[in-house]
Amino acid sequence: MQRHFLAAALIALTAAPVFAAPADAALTIPPLAYKETRLPNGLQVLSIEDHASPTVAVQVWYHVGSKDDPAQRSGFAHLFEHLMFKSTKNLAAEQFDRLTEDVGGSNNASTGDDVTNYFEVIPSNYLQTLLWAEAERLKNLTVDEPNFKSERAVVEEEFRQRILAPPYGRLEYALQKNAYAVHPYKRPTIGSIEDLEAASLDDVIAFHSTYYRPDNATLIVVGDFEPAQLAQWVDLYFGKIAKPDAAIPRVDAIEPPRSEDRRITEQAPNVPLPALGMTWLAPPAKSPDAAALRVAAAILAGGDSSRLHQALVYRQQVAQEVSFEFSDNADVGLITATAVLASGRKLGDAEKAVLAEIQRLQKTPISDAELDKAKTQLLTQALVQRETNEGKAFELGSAVILTGEPANADKALAALQAVTAADVQRVIKEYVSDRHRVTVEYRAAAAAGAKK
Amino acid sequence: MKKTFITAAALSLLIAALAACSKTPPAAATASTETPAVAAANPNDKELPPAPSPARSVAIPKPVEKTLDNGLRVIVVQHGGTPLVTAELNLLSGSEVDPPSLSGLAGFTANLLTQGTKTRSAPQIAQASEALGASLTAAADWDASRIGITVTTPKTGEALDLLADVVRNPTFAKAEVERQRSQALDGLSVQLQQPRSLASLVATRLLFGTSPYGHSRLGTPASLKQIHSADLVKLHETYYRPDNAVLVFSGDIDGDTAFALAEKVFGSWAKPNYPVPPRPTIDEASAASGAVRVVAIDLPGAGQAAVVAVHRLPPRKADDYYAGVITNAVLGGGYSARLNSEIRIKRGLSYGAGSRFQALRDAGVLLAFAQTKNQSAPEVADLIRAEITKLSSESVPLPELAARKASLIGGFSRGLQTTSGIAEQLGELITQGIDLDAINHTIANAEAVTPAQVQAYAAAHLNVNDVDIVIVGDAKQFSEALGKTYPDLQLIPATSLDLDDALPAATPAPTAARAP
């Protein structure tokens, strides 16, 4: 499924920012010099010309994600993503792989709460071919029953591989399911086996016609191309696709603030060490507080020198692994802390230790050096991300989906740089300390030989 | 996402294997993609995809090299574009030097480098590297231990100071050894309940028995308890020395600057007056057992079964190495390769199936894998064996071969687009003892492999009746069916598996194993 992958990618991308390492005026990150156009049918087109390597990244980001799964069809947006690699009017099933992998390129796709994106890196002489092919599956998808059933079985294996087989797969699943009261973000992107089994070919057709339309898509091209030629091809292949009259349905659920703390117990087989997860609701990605939350997360859990790692893993040895993340969504976000215990330790000790570090961050001074360290880490991640054409395209796409504006990819870097210690303390108080949390206690099921 | 596992896992491994050619100079080669795969499957009534325009050539990085007086080789690849520098010290000894009773010692040693030096505590080292925006990584692999860091250009000097300190001055303090021990034991307990990682560990043991490459690089529950500070000090003294190491720089740095930095932090690193011990020898006797060995590890309640099939192959230095790379590419290197086609695309039995050719310095391994629902494990094992059989019984059609080569070469080229990717590819060549000039011939060598060479390679080195299969999962859901195909199936509960024992390999090879 994509949550992992997308979660990882988006966090890396959007959390990356900072123009210059604070203590280091010598280093700057060049802005993403993109061009933006919009076709009359509503397709948004972003491009960055760069001839450093003879490759080009082509991506289409559809503004539809698992939050748009139909009722009783959790996991559907993701299942649909898989079906986009099957047949179209003019393409055989898997022919996308012939046009990418078989000529020295690569392709993949992912689904998240807010987005479904399709991405390729190809030798640049195949750019025209790929633009044709992306337009083809936007307008001419023709999935048949055997392909549908076979790919649904693959997605069910994906569910088992991500959720059931790894010792901590069900923890993450439980955290998302219990994070939101009303918002469809509460449905894990991978869905459930039952809902996947209930899906039909009719659902596929309806979903495609509802959401896969030019005015619900952003095309991103980064790399080795000539701008005039690109514009001509985009117009030729995408320009003729009609924009439907119907409005695009949008999720309008409003997640209420939590009114109380909740505690959930989850058990699973083959869990060698108990684990703990906690969530808090967070502001959306476009909030002015997002930058301070990214810095706060880096101070708490960015690397071995971070506060939670030093306290829980190094000094107290109560946990063998700890995390604290801000997931920025287009709508209400989420802050998640997890700890996998060290053997012989108790969940309550880890919980206390995490909460103590959160309180210390809020209440005691943060040194300039620590603030600089967090920003430098985030800056360096941004630079690493921007080494490749694909990485640059991901930055633009994430900014569009999460905040509506590609320019925010660079603005987020500047915002990070401006974060002060007081900002960090304020957002930790406002979104964590003063808010209710949902706690998941995760243990081995008794049959599999439980430990405490 | 659609293909994460294949791209992330299989392809990058493959690329690593390919990169395993050597290293130096020339300028440009052409990623020829003569396959008009585009037109492949289109009846006349369909609109055809536009044909590609002429291809541009791929630039291959040009390393420069210098050897310091103490024997330390320094290799630099300047790579423009982004103000980043990767520095990595490749030590030419890895987990293969673990003593038999101390599995995991080289990995333990590498992990402890960053946990305290004569002048810095563990928290100070983490603080210092992360203040540079980086993370300092240290780990042992087969044939190599690597200590690396990637930073923005202005931080290069400080980063190298830190890297040299942890390589040269680790203290292996008792408190840190104990802390590392409990973390390693906990980490191992998680690995041992993941079907895929457990299956790989058992398969490796089957393949190499008690000889070097056969044990767990992460250690075992028993071996980790026996590692003492003195063992770490001894391994460090024996192998961490300038004449057993190669320092690689890649990114926004020129040769002279890098050589000067290397001299500054490593110039006084003394070379001992005794030679590096000879490499341990691999047990060739276990290379061909002459029988299919099938081991099922029971992990009750496992949500899926991991199926792993392994076979010995020639080492990296073999003359027919590229035929091996292409043979693996056909079998399981990438989304459209045969294993994923048969297991995922045609039958929906897995989220991803593939194979990797791990070409080590003294031996090679073919490892094919898939995860599937427990009941399907026997079917997946049969499918893997059938595809291995086909490699030697049938010639690979030319269009398929061209597609697999293009995919492989494309991955190789993309790997050269980042500073860390360049360092990784050079590191592989260095530690496998291959001349760096190979990097200039990789594309041509891969292109040159013919269908006859693939078939000959498979016939010579890949006997399906020597394939060992390990399945880890909820055995009650598949052991009966598996036992019908493989009457000599060994079924071992995960709870009674002893990874220090050569048990699976020591068991006499069944003589009645059946081909599929």
Between residues 203 and 262 of chain A, which touch chain B (CB distance below 8 Å)? Answer: 224
CATH of the domain at A426: 3.30.830.10
Category of A276 on φ-ψ map: left (φ > 0), alpha (ψ -120 to 50) or beta: beta
The nearest alpha carbon in chain B to A236 belongs to: B50
For residue A138, being part of any structural domain is answered with: yes
The residue ranking higher by pLDDT, B58 or A393, is A393
pLDDT of residue B35 exceeding 60, the answer is: no
Helix ranges restricted to H, A49-189: 76-83, 95-99, 127-139, 145-159, 169-177
Cβ–Cβ < 8 Å for B388, B464: yes
A410-414, long-range: CB < 8 A, 24+ apart: A410/A17, A410/A19, A410/A31, A410/A32, A412/A14, A412/A16, A412/A17, A412/A290, A412/A291, A413/A16, A413/A17, A413/A18, A413/A19, A413/A29, A413/A379, A413/A382, A414/A17, A414/A18, A414/A19
For residue A250, being part of any structural domain is answered with: no
Residues A199, A101 within the same domain = yes
Please tell me if residue B20 touches chain A, with a CB cutoff of 8 Å: no
**What pLDDT band is residue B44 in, cutting at 50, 70 and 90?**
low
Contact B5 A101 (CB under 8 A): no
Q: What are residue B247's DSSP bridge partners? A: B74, B89
* E strand or H helix at A123: strand A116-123
Radius of gyration (Cα) for chain B, nearest Å?
A: 23
d(CA A74, CA B176): 47
Contact A125 B56 (CB under 8 A): yes
The nearest alpha carbon in chain B to A99 belongs to: B38
Name the phi and psi angles at A418, rounded to 5: -85, -5
Collapsing DSSP to helix, strand or coil, B199 comes out as: helix
Domains of chain B: 64-266 (3.30.830.10), 286-421+433-505 (3.30.830.10)
- Average of pLDDT values for B448-467? 96
Residues A114, A204 within the same domain = yes
CA atoms within 13 A on the CB side of B213: 25
Cβ–Cβ < 8 Å for B94, B457: no
Task: Kindly list the distances between the CA atom of residue A165 and the CA atoms of A34, A159, A388, B185, B373, in Å, as whole numbers in the listed order.
Answer: 42, 9, 33, 21, 10
- Please tell me the distance in Å from A149's CA to the nearest CA on chain B: 8
For residue A397, being part of any structural domain is answered with: yes
Helix ranges restricted to H, B240-314: 255-266
- Average of pLDDT values for B234-257? 97
d(CA B516, CA B512): 13
B372-376, long-range: CB < 8 A, 24+ apart: B372/A157, B372/B304, B372/B305, B372/B307, B372/B343, B373/A156, B373/A157, B373/A160, B373/B304, B373/B305, B373/B349, B374/B302, B374/B304, B374/B305, B374/B473, B374/B474, B374/B477, B374/B478, B375/B477, B375/B478, B375/B481, B376/B305, B376/B349, B376/B478
The nearest alpha carbon in chain A to B194 belongs to: A166
Q: Which residue has the tokens 């016609």?
A: A209
d(CA B512, CA B485): 11
Residues A217, A314 within the same domain = no
Looking only at the bridges linking them, the beta strands covering A44-49 and A217-223 are parallel
Cβ–Cβ < 8 Å for B500, B220: yes
Contact B152 A21 (CB under 8 A): yes
What pLDDT shows up at residue B289?
A: 65
Domain end among A238, A254, A288: A238
Please tell me if residue B51 touches chain A, with a CB cutoff of 8 Å: yes
d(CA B387, CA A267): 39
Tens-level pLDDT at each residue, chain A (452 residues): 332 333 333 323 223 333 344 444 446 788 999 999 999 999 999 999 999 999 999 999 999 999 999 999 999 999 999 999 999 999 999 999 999 999 999 999 999 999 999 999 999 999 999 999 999 999 999 999 999 999 999 999 999 999 999 999 999 999 999 999 999 999 999 999 999 999 999 999 999 999 999 999 999 999 999 999 999 999 999 999 999 999 999 999 999 999 999 999 999 999 999 999 999 999 999 999 999 999 999 999 999 999 999 999 999 999 999 999 999 999 999 999 999 999 999 999 999 999 999 999 999 999 999 999 999 999 999 999 999 999 999 999 999 999 999 999 999 999 999 999 999 999 999 999 999 999 999 999 975 443 33
Please tell me if residue A124 touches chain B, with a CB cutoff of 8 Å: yes
What pLDDT shows up at residue A22?
A: 44
- Please tell me the distance in Å from A258's CA to the nearest CA on chain B: 31
d(CA B61, CA B440): 9
Domain end among A222, A238, A254: A238
* Geometric angle at alpha carbon B354, from B350 and B359, rounded to 5°: 155
Q: What does pTM read for this prediction?
A: 0.91
d(CA A69, CA A386): 32
In percent, how much of chain B has pLDDT > 90?
79
Residue B442 in tokens: 């990789």
Contact A54 B57 (CB under 8 A): yes
Cβ–Cβ < 8 Å for B63, B438: no
The answer to whether ipTM exceeds 0.85 is yes
The nearest alpha carbon in chain A to B185 belongs to: A343
Task: Kindly list the distances between the CA atom of residue B190 and the CA atoms of B222, B376, B406, in Å, as whole numbers in the listed order.
Answer: 15, 25, 38
Residue B304 in tokens: 């899926």
Chain A residues in contact with B187 by the CB 8 A cut-off are 320
Contact B50 A302 (CB under 8 A): no
Helix and strand element counts for chain A (H, E):
16, 11
- Please tell me the distance in Å from B219's CA to the nearest CA on chain A: 17
Category of B61 on φ-ψ map: left (φ > 0), alpha (ψ -120 to 50) or beta: beta
Q: How many CB atoms neighbour CB A51 within 10 A?
A: 12
What pLDDT shows up at residue B447?
A: 95
d(CA B156, CA B143): 27
Task: Kindly list the distances between the CA atom of residue B150 and the CA atoms of B13, B60, B261, B392, in Å, as whole numbers in the listed order.
Answer: 21, 21, 15, 44
Please tell me if residue B496 touches chain A, with a CB cutoff of 8 Å: no
d(CA A323, CA B180): 19
For residue A145, being part of any structural domain is answered with: yes
What pLDDT shows up at residue B22?
A: 28
Residues A111, A175 within the same domain = yes
Between residues 168 and 197 of chain A, which touch chain B (CB distance below 8 Å)? Answer: 169
Q: Which has the closest alpha carbon to B422: B108, B24, B107?
A: B24
pLDDT, tens only, B473-494:
999 999 999 999 999 999 999 9
For residue A245, being part of any structural domain is answered with: no
Q: What is the DSSP letter of B117?
A: B
Looking only at the bridges linking them, the beta strands covering A275-282 and A438-444 are antiparallel
Please tell me if residue B59 touches chain A, with a CB cutoff of 8 Å: yes
Q: Which has the closest alpha carbon to B494: B330, B353, B302, B345?
A: B302
Contact B495 A449 (CB under 8 A): yes
What pLDDT shows up at residue B7?
A: 29
What pLDDT shows up at residue B513?
A: 32
Chain B residues in contact with A269 by the CB 8 A cut-off are 300-303
E-strand stretches of A255-303: 262-268, 275-282
Chain A residues in contact with B60 by the CB 8 A cut-off are none
Residue B501 in tokens: 């024992």
Please tell me if residue A55 touches chain B, with a CB cutoff of 8 Å: yes
Residues A297, A230 within the same domain = no
d(CA A370, CA A380): 15
Residues A225, A330 within the same domain = no
Contact B37 A102 (CB under 8 A): yes
Which of A109, A320, A373 is opposite residue B131, by nearest beta carbon? A373
Domain with A228, as residue range(s), is: 3-238
What pLDDT shows up at residue B46?
A: 86
What pLDDT shows up at residue A27?
A: 60
Helix ranges restricted to H, B333-418: 338-340, 377-393, 398-415
pLDDT, tens only, B298-357:
999 999 999 999 999 999 999 999 999 999 999 999 999 999 999 999 999 999 999 999
Please tell me if residue B442 touches chain A, with a CB cutoff of 8 Å: no
Cβ–Cβ < 8 Å for B266, B70: yes
Residues A158, A54 within the same domain = yes
Cβ–Cβ < 8 Å for B476, B426: no
Chain A residues in contact with B420 by the CB 8 A cut-off are 384
- Please tell me the distance in Å from B514's CA to the nearest CA on chain A: 29
Q: Which has the closest alpha carbon to B306: B196, B383, B194?
A: B196
Please tell me if residue B101 touches chain A, with a CB cutoff of 8 Å: no
Cβ–Cβ < 8 Å for B10, B329: no
- Please tell me the distance in Å from A435's CA to the nearest CA on chain B: 30
Cβ density class B161-189: b for 16+ within 10 Å, e for less: ebbbbbbbebbbbeebbebbbebbbbbbb
The nearest alpha carbon in chain A to B133 belongs to: A377
For residue A180, being part of any structural domain is answered with: yes
Chain A residues in contact with B304 by the CB 8 A cut-off are 157, 160-161, 164-165
**Number of structural domains found in chain A:** 2
Helix ranges restricted to H, A140-285: 145-159, 169-177, 193-198, 201-211, 227-238
pLDDT of residue B37 exceeding 90, the answer is: no
Residues A275, A408 within the same domain = yes
For residue A244, being part of any structural domain is answered with: no
Residues A226, A354 within the same domain = no
Q: How many CB atoms neighbour CB B505 within 10 A?
A: 22
Q: What is the DSSP letter of A69?
A: P
For residue A255, being part of any structural domain is answered with: no
Q: How many CB atoms neighbour CB A319 within 10 A?
A: 28
d(CA A9, CA A18): 17
d(CA B158, CA A166): 39
Contact B50 A158 (CB under 8 A): no
Domain end among A202, A219, A238: A238
Contact A54 B371 (CB under 8 A): no
